[in-house]
Amino acid sequence: MRTVKVEEKLFQNRYLVDADNPHIRLKDPELCEKTCATKQCTVCCPAGCYTLEGQKVVLITDGCLECGTCRIICTTYRNVDWEYPRGGYGIQFKFG
């Protein structure tokens, strides 16, 4: 049986970017940078939407899988403002 890497499966998906209208925002980016010691969002996102530049958390929602993990895992500060993309935008999953 042929094995398929997760990256290969993700590559099958299509994504329509809603320019200048990200569906997830950091409520207080400074809190992420200066107060949150663990920054778990930067390691839990399967699409790699959260990255670190030094201690600064950078969120780019392009490619977001809408899994909701970042919303759930920011338990201490609840600093993630999360909603689904507007109709027609965001991820289009291709199964199979």
Token couple for 39: 């920054």
Shortest CA distance to 36 belongs to which of 67, 51, 57? 57
Q: What stretch of H or E contains 56?
A: strand 56-59
Residues in contact with ligand SF4, counted by CB under 6 A, come to a total of 24
Write the interaction track for ligand SF4 spanning residues 4-43; mark x where CB under 6 A is met and - where it is not: --------------------x-x----xx---x--xxx--
Under the rule (CB under 6 A), what is the footprint of ligand SF4?
A: 24, 26, 31-32, 36, 39-41, 45-47, 49, 57, 64-70, 74, 77, 79-80
